Amino acid sequence: MKITVNARKVFVNQKLTEHIEKKLAKFDKFFPGEAEASVKLSRVRDVERVEVTIQSGTTLFRSEDESSTFMNALDCCLYAIERQIRKNKTRLAKKLRDNIKIPDYDPADGAAPDEVEEGAFTIRTKTFDIKPMIPEEAILQMNLLEHQFFVFNDIDNGATCVVYKRKDGGYGMIVPN
């Protein structure tokens, strides 16, 4: 697994980097191919925050946590990601078809979002690649990322679509004409 450690307003020593690599090594058993992990560390006042994103093919697993130490926050994040992987293991196997050729996904996690002041609103812009997938896979990705919506290209018709969570607990899909 390729591991990238990014720190924001904090110094990362060799001991912490080795600890992160050791902890993430246990996820190699879940990903048969080459997976990438991104770990972001930041400190605000006395709270240390860790955000972990693991990407394998088009599948993303993400967790973030805050604690008094980076090691405690990292342990909580990795526990949450392991739960996500185990919970969705059979669902992933059913939904992802081996015969579909999907290009490798390069998450925009490393790209810094732009913020633009426009009148009374602050607009935060984030760029990312839109990948072809089926709606069920997009819903699965949305749930794994714990987002309210997910933008994707429908593999059947090539249209850019959006799946979203409805207030009644169901899902909706927006398809352009």
Please give the pLDDT value at position 105.
38
Chain CA centroid to CA 169, Å: 22
Higher-confidence position of 56 and 43:
43
Please give the pLDDT value at position 32.
67
Distance of alpha carbon 72 from alpha carbon 17, whole angstroms: 14
- At the top level of CATH, the class of 114-174 is alpha beta
Of the CATH numbers 3.30.160.100, 3.40.50.300, 3.40.50.200, 3.90.25.10, which one belongs to the domain with range 2-95? 3.30.160.100
Please give the pLDDT value at position 162.
92
User: Rounded to the nearest 10 degrees, how much is the dihedral formed by the CA atoms of 37, 41, 109, 164?
Assistant: 100
Please give the pLDDT value at position 120.
61
Q: Is 7 a residue whose pLDDT tops 80?
A: yes
Count of CB atoms situated within 10 Å of the CB of 62: 20
pLDDT tens figures, 81-105: 888 888 777 665 665 544 333 334 3
pLDDT tens figures, 123-151: 778 787 788 888 888 888 888 888 888 99
pLDDT (mean) for 15-38:
83
Q: Structure tokens of 5?
A: 């450690």
Return the percentage of the chain with pLDDT > 70, whole number.
80
Please give the pLDDT value at position 123.
76
Predicted confidence band of residue 170 (pLDDT cuts 50, 70, 90): confident
- Ordered by start, the domain boundaries in the chain are 2-95, 114-174
